Structure 1
Amino acid sequence: MMGIRARRVLAGGAAAVAIGVGAVAPAGAATDPLAPVTAAASSLEAPYGMTVKTLTAARDAGFPIYEAAEKVLYQAPKRAFWMIEYRRVSSDYDLSSPTTKFVAVGAVGPDTFWVSPDSVPGVISINRTWHHQDNVAFPMVGFEQTDQRFTNSPLVQLPGGGPGIGIALIT
């Protein structure tokens, strides 16, 4: 019977191999580039304290870390839409804050960006601007879409709750 530690090591190795394979695979090779990571990490639980230590090690190795800062519902004239704001974090204080974090692989994204979970999957938007229109009672928001995509894996959760940690592929 395989122990918990052995399963974690095997799953971590599978995730590392999956990330390495995904980083060198051609862009059109798979519809879900994080499928191997999703399969390997979907049932893991991190031991207490692993989140901050893992994030610190990833940051020290040169991987960008992004936090899901907030999810905001924006009003538009005909409908409302959700946007999730992601910010790049690097200080020890920010790495230990109670927000969901993602270790990014692939390309480096902007320091602050927004992703709509409802529309085109993972399109990174930047430069949030507010403008007013005479026939609309509330300020409207606009974003500039980039060619980059943000695809995140399922989160590894700490025992007893708390913020999760995941992997994000930025292409």
Structure 2
Amino acid sequence: MPKNKGGEGTMAQAKKAVKKTIKNSGKKSTLKAGKKTTSETLSPAQEKFCLEYRKHEGNGTAAAIAAGYSERTAAQQATRLLRNVNILKRIKELADDAIRKQIIGLDKRALVLSKIAEDDAADVQARIRAIDVLNKMDGVYVIKTEVKISGNVNVLLKRRKKE
């Protein structure tokens, strides 16, 4: 039987198109879904490597072993993983989070100073200093400065405007 243009030939093209769509559907859906966080784009093993890399303070081989990679190939795996842009981004995110957690917020500092100021067992000088710092934080103190100007003020201001 001869193939006609509207029959089996079109059916084969349709099957190819469907296969191609199915094959690429995963790629399209991740792009359409929007931006994913770096940790979502990594495999569980890669995420574990990033966490272990931070724990082992930048030792890639030890991080690879702790993440479950073979001891025999850990150094090569670490080198390969550290070339991955998403892994590098995730390691930077983890480092930034660690830095952020180390910084004591204003409320927490005020709380610590308040505890020192109210602690009867604390040294008197420490209590006074804590109260002093709290007052400075709250803007209780007004700093007065005395300025002496010699000469004609108008002339000095005109000179300053020209500069």
Question: TM-score, length-normalised on structure 1?
Answer: 0.21
TM-score (norm 2): 0.22
Of the two structures, which has the highest relative contact order with CA contacts closer than 8 Å and spacing of 6 or more?
Answer: 1
| Structure whose CA Rg is larger | 2
Higher helix proportion (structure 1 or 2)? 2
